[in-house]
Amino acid sequence: MNKKIIQIKNCFLGHGYASLIGYHKLLEISNHKEILILRNKNTSPIFTIEHEGHSFSPLPIFPVEESKLYQSSLFNNVPKQEPISVSFSTLDNFNHKDYQIKDGSLASFMLSNDGIDTRLCLGLKQWGDDMLTTPFSQVQDKIKRHYISSGGNTRMGYVNGLSLFKYAVDKLNPEVLDYANLEKVDIEKKEVHTDDYIIKYNKLISTVPIHFLLDICNLKQDHNTNYASSYFYFFEYKNGFNANQIIYDCDFKSDILRIFSVKDNFLLAQLRSDKHGQISTEKIQKRIQRLVPSIKELKFAKELFVPMSYPVELISTPDTLDSINVLKQNDIIPLGRFGDWKYSDLHELDWSSIV
């Protein structure tokens, strides 16, 4: 079958918040008709999930009040919201001296900071025992950026269970082309080949995982592409826990990392992802009831496992670094958490190469 040919100035590969925010940014120098977003029609929804009358964001994604992005025109006419409120339960059943910690590991990095017991208790729930022996250099990097030398990190809460980013990108109306299979990117001819189309581009901005992009561009790579997962149980309730509160669960015997009230009657519990499939909903429900005694008529709603949630190690190996240079020399720009392979938030996206 002959493929249809499309010629476009700017092509985004991947359809998540990073490409939509990138699209908005690109409109500063480009025209709507000159931009196309390619979306994989087989991927699961990242923006909103529907469950028995509830619409909610699957991941807790909050804009940062002090950031240039939140202050930019992207957020014009987006509903205003207060920051989320964060608290910690009492530290129980944990002493860092019970653990053997290897030099250079994420845990040893944490040892040099205050509040080691709480940090390590929560860290082990989020990253698992590997953090005692491996660097998790992406996580160390993010802790340095956000929490040690912070330029302000006030996170704005949801409105009706949806991230403010969702309201911001909903007003954009980009051209989107769905594909089922991505066959290759020909970096010399500047073409993306899908099952039905050949898209000829001047610039390609990719938010798909960097190792996947390098593969389809037929470029070498030697990076450690380990990533961490995230695991959620969602609960409905009648009342007793108002929206936009986070409680970190510092009892090491509990499998909950944190709970977050998405709405006044709906919450998510982020669980130990290393125990995916092994956690009883009754146990989690009991623990939530203890963390928030005022909560009424709590009922399990659904679960969600997101395998690829956080990149783990920084890119530092020669072949991958060389290949990323080749991409850039050929007008292919990796962008976003997985495009760039950086454990970053949306307000940290690097626009410089797009506009």
Ligand X SMILES: Cc1cc2nc3c(=O)[nH]c(=O)nc-3n(C[C@H](O)[C@H](O)[C@H](O)COP(=O)(O)OP(=O)(O)OC[C@H]3O[C@@H](n4cnc5c(N)ncnc54)[C@H](O)[C@@H]3O)c2cc1C
Q: Which residues of the shown chain bind ligand X in the complex (CB under 6 A)? A: 14-19, 40, 43, 46, 59-62, 155, 207-209, 212, 230, 309, 336-338, 345-346
For 325, the enclosing helix (H) or strand (E) is helix 318-329
User: Smallest distance from the beta carbon of 89 to ligand X, in angstroms?
Assistant: 19
Nearest to ligand X of 58, 135 (CB atom): 58
Cβ proximity to ligand X: between 17 and 201 the closer is: 17
DSSP E strands, 18-142: 35-40, 49-51, 54-56, 85-88
For residue 102, the minimal CB distance to ligand X (Å) is 26
CA distance 174 to 183: 23
- Between CA 179 and CA 186, with CA 181 as vertex, the angle to 5 degrees is 100
Q: Work out how close the CB of 289 gets to ligand X at its nearest, in angstroms, rounded to a whole number.
A: 23
Q: Say which amino acid occupies 161.
A: G
CB of 210 to ligand X, least distance (A): 10
Q: How far is the CB of 260 from ligand X (least distance, A)?
A: 9
What is residue 309's three-state secondary structure?
Answer: strand
> Cβ-closest residue to ligand X?
16
Question: What is the smallest separation between the CB atom of 104 and ligand X, expressed in angstroms?
Answer: 25
Smaller CB separation from ligand X, 105 or 206: 206
Number of alpha carbons in the 13 Å side-chain half-sphere of residue 260: 23
| Contact status, residue 281 vs residue 233, Cβ threshold 8 Å | yes
DSSP string, 7-57: EEEEEEE--SHHHHHHHHHHTTTS-GGGEEEEEETTSPPSS-EEETTEEE-
Q: Residue 299 and residue 315: Cα distance in Å, rounded?
A: 43
Phi then psi for residue 226, to 5 deg, are: -60, 145
**Residue with smaller CB distance to ligand X, 14 or 135:** 14
CB nearer ligand X, residue 101 or residue 327: 327
